[in-house]
Chain A
Amino acid sequence: MVNLPLTQPEVLFLLPVISCLLCSAASLILRKGVVARALTSLLTSLSSVLMLVVALMCALFGVRIRLSIATGLWGSSNTVPWPLNTIVFGIDGLSATFVLMLGIVGLASSIYSLSYLRRFEGEYDLRFFGVNYSLFILLMYLVVTVRDLFWFFIFWELMTLTSQFLVSFEYRRRVAVAAGLKYFTLTKVLAELMIAGGVAVIVLGGLPHGTGFREVATSLNAMLSSEPVIAMIAIGLFFAGLMVKASLTPLHVWLPDAHPEAPSNVSALLSGIMIKVSVYMMFRLFLFFSPPNLLWGAILSFAGAATLTYGTMMALKQVDSKRLLAYHSVGQIGYVVLGLGACVTLLSMSPPNPALAAVAALASLYHALNHAVFKSLLFLNAGSVEYVTGTRDLNVLGGLGKVMPATALTALIASFSIAGIPPFNGFVSKWLIYSSTMTVRGYLPVLGFLALFISSVTTASFIKFYTSIFGKPSRKSFSNAREVPASMLVAQLLLASLCVLLGVLPGLAFTLLKPALVSAGLSIAGLGVSLTAFSIPSVAINYPTLIAATLFPVAGVIYAVLSGREVHGIEGWACGALRSPHSLSPPAKSYYEVFEEEFRGFYRVGEALYDYVVIRGSQALRAILRGAQHLTESPSPMSALTALVLMVALLLCLTLKLMGVMLP
């Protein structure tokens, strides 16, 4: 029950919720899939726009939202702080940042859905998709806005469930079902560690005033003073659960299977925003709930560096367009976590460096925002190509740049952005990561070096991605290929524009992210940011706007002058060989064979890691879950749902029982 009358910010907060719920209900009722498709696209686009409004109101105008909803599940007694009684939502600067990302990616994906979902019509149930898609967006919104740990866990689990259904949406393809189950099993089982950590804090900390974030922070701080070992174990368990959803190495193994198998508009949401929901909670855990700690700073930094290295190096080998992107999601989340780790380290080192810590936190959030934009765009690009050609195999694709010029342009912008080519958005956030990690002593410069090296591997990987699809001739004829429908194009152009804007106007991004830094209590006084330049006094300075203002006009003028000249068309020359371009085109798998051979030691370790985590891990898991073995053998979503309900029920029983023991 909501206290009436509602204030304007509270109404604002509820509007996306209502819109998503309406979409879900309508999808259930509607009989025709085609109407469900249109309605899903329309209402989720509307929800995303409303989320954007919420985020912008909070970020730009300082609106703070706090809404308490009485559930009435435990009577009306206010004397007993049962977490079930009330759900508290709130949007501070940090939540607003993640709502902003969700709004951007959700809007683009939803617009894209309008035409993209046509490919499933008649084959799959689009009503089922509509229900899950809108609930998935809603649950991500609730996860980043709820201010109660107990309800966070509930929404988190439901988010996992709906996303699993979306991953396995094409249930006639066994590989999609297998990927969905692998994702669900791994994230579900390891999320229990997070819940165990949370329950430990709730129970051992003795939370007489409920499980709100503020109370959790107070309790955790008290535990760190009185029982530091147990508190650290609790934080460790919580972090382990977050690691798996954020796909940090070595717990990333579900992601390269799950993200490619989902429909591309869902892949955009999974890679663009869902994996960052974990980063949101990492920010809360390490900057809000507990004081900065040198050990956790080191763990986060090394986990980030290991993830960015492993994910990107593995991406270099891929020849499936979406699998390549999925591995890059692993790699890029490593950059985000490295930024957070550097922030925690710089705050906890002796003497602390709060100015540079703020730069590191900004780098992390900025890169998260940038990654949300360019990675969702890349997944939409890959989806467009699959929509037109029916394949994701980079070995056979090619030559689509001429028939899909707008998609090719947006893919090029996204590739430049993720590669960090100045002045696109990826460059600016990577520059901030280097500036905050390299200019100090200790281990951070070594991790900064890895980040810089891996950035070039990312570039090489996207040379392969872009040129295999849009550049060199294909190895197979795609004579029916044409540009994608308008709605798919609009979504891609929207994200491509943001890639440029967030790169050339750093002040814009800083304005949007500043409230998050302030809410985390970080000092931003040492940052000199204007609309056109970034300056970290006596450390580094960058003029992205000036670079863009010089680079693009100069290149444009040169190209225009050349284009105005007489043009002679030539056919490719291959030492006089008269063959079709298709037979001469080298396959994508050959791109970096020499490089991969030179770095074979690294790849051997990677394969061993995969073997250890997946093969042995699943064997151990099977042994543990022998009683519920049918879960891993049956592809039925119902069994997964049953498992989830059982686990949530178990969690509830445990919490209530333990709280009953603690409370009078």
Chain B
Amino acid sequence: MSAASPLLACAFILVNVASLAVLALILDGVDRKVRARVQRRVGPPILQTLYDVLKLYRRPVTRDELAGPFHSVAPALAFATSLVGAAVIPSLLPTSGFQGDLIVAVYLISSVSAITSFGAASSGIPFSVVGGWREASLMMTSELVLGATVAAIASSSGSLMLSSLMPLIRPSTVKVSPIIALASLALLTYVEGGRLPFEIAEAEPELAGGVASGYGGPSLALLMHSLLLKRVLLATLFLDLLVPWGAISNALGAPLGLAVRALAFTLALTLVSLVSAVIEALYGRCRPGHAISIVKKALIVSGVALIAACVGF
């Protein structure tokens, strides 16, 4: 099922971007609720994150007097980057008029972390600077695993185009490397999503918000929104490679197929979020070194996938 005209393709992309931007806030509310219930707390309402962000958008802009000039620009640039990421990666609706590329998608997602770190480390607040370093350290370690995963996917498929990679596992050509690569990607979706025990960059009790501690009002809202959107984009990429979404929408025909696909995709994102929230509720925060050490060990998984792909399995 594809968007026939360029105009329709643009409309589909806009729907995807808007939906993911809103879903990012709602799914965080779901996360918070689930975490609270697992820990036998009542927790905030599901729409609390949405309310928080909307309220922050209405507040006056605060500016850190001691920070460098990029500090105030970073949230806007990070948010714009995450929106472009949402446009490139197919999600609720297909985007066949605009063929995404795995490297472009991965880079846009990573750029959100990089820009956030650039901004945070430009702050006048030491906690924010340290948060920026930690975000960058985790980014490097995650990319160690992500690099091997992406190379395994590309080598086993002979392509980097998302349209050729969706889904990664096909009944006609079952291989070992894509399965292991997907497991590795699932792990990265969790780690790079900034979830406990890997939530070391914000670290509220320890660093008073870390990367976010220099921001207030709309800047804080933009930063929070970017990081949550990045989390959803990671899950979207994982689901794109896991589920044959095109087959679902093609089987039912338009417009019913599209509606079912959009609904199924939303439910899948919610499921990923629920599972992540349950895991997150069971853990406390790691020390930075410990977090890096754990992520580094995940290279074993992605490394096996890469070697298997290189030899044709």
Which residues from chain A sit less than 8 Å from chain B, CB to CB?
Answer: 399, 401-402, 405, 408, 412, 415, 419-422, 427, 431, 434-435, 438-443, 445-446, 448-453, 455-457, 459-460, 463-464, 466-467, 470-473, 538-543, 547, 550-552, 554-556, 558-559, 562-563, 565-575, 581, 584-586, 590-592, 594-595, 597-598
Contact = CB atoms under 8 A, between A and B. Distances in A.
B150 interface: yes
A402 B68 contact: yes
B159 A449 contact: no
Contact of B222 (A460, A558, A581): A558
Interface in B245-271: none
15 contacts: A408-B68, A422-B81, A422-B108, A431-B107, A434-B160, A435-B160, A440-B155, A445-B155, A467-B132, A472-B129, A568-B217, A574-B125, A574-B126, A591-B133, A591-B136
A558 B80 contact: yes
A467 B129 contact: yes
Given A434-B160, A435-B160, A586-B126, A541 B62 contact: no
A399 B68 CA distance: 6
B76 A558 contact: yes
Interface in B119-134: 121-127, 129-130, 132-134
Interface residues of B, number: 90
B230 to A, nearest CB: 14
A445 B84 contact: no
- Which of A440, A542, A598 gathers the greatest number of chain B CB atoms within 10 Å? A598
B79 A558 contact: yes
B60 interface: yes
B114 A459 contact: yes
Nearest to A534: B101
B151 interface: yes
Nearest to A450: B147
- Which of B77, B117, B293 gathers the greatest number of chain A CB atoms within 10 Å? B77
Contacts of A552: 80
A565 B218 CA distance: 10
Contacts of B155: 438-441, 445
Contacts of A450: 147
9 A-B pairs with least C-beta separation:
A471-B122, A456-B143, A452-B147, A401-B68, A555-B80, A471-B68, A467-B121, A438-B154, A572-B124
Nearest to A563: B61
Contact of A567 (B63, B123, B136, B141): B63
B147 A453 contact: yes
B161 interface: yes
Interface stretch (B24-32, B208-216, B277-285): B208-216
A interface SS class: helix
Given A438-B160, A550-B84, A542 B104 contact: yes
Nearest to B311: A441
B108 A568 contact: no
A471 B63 contact: no
Contact of A565 (B61, B66, B104): B61
Contact of A421 (B60, B111, B222): B111
Given A453-B143, A467-B68, A473-B66, A573 B150 contact: no
Contacts of B213: 573
A592 B136 contact: yes
A301 to B, nearest CB: 13
A254 B62 CA distance: 48
Contact of B150 (A452, A569, A590, A595): A452
B310 A443 contact: yes
Contacts of A585: 126, 129
B168 interface: no
A586 B125 CA distance: 10
Nearest to B77: A555
B95 to A, nearest CB: 12
A464 B133 CA distance: 8
B304 interface: no
B68 A441 contact: no
B197 to A, nearest CB: 15
Contact of B151 (A438, A455, A471, A551): A438
B61 to A, nearest CB: 5
A422 B124 contact: no
B34 interface: no
Contacts of A441: 155, 309-312
A554 B73 CA distance: 12
A162 B109 CA distance: 46
Interface string B77-111: 10111011001100000000011011110011011
B239 interface: no
A574 B129 CA distance: 11
Contact of B310 (A445, A463, A581): A445
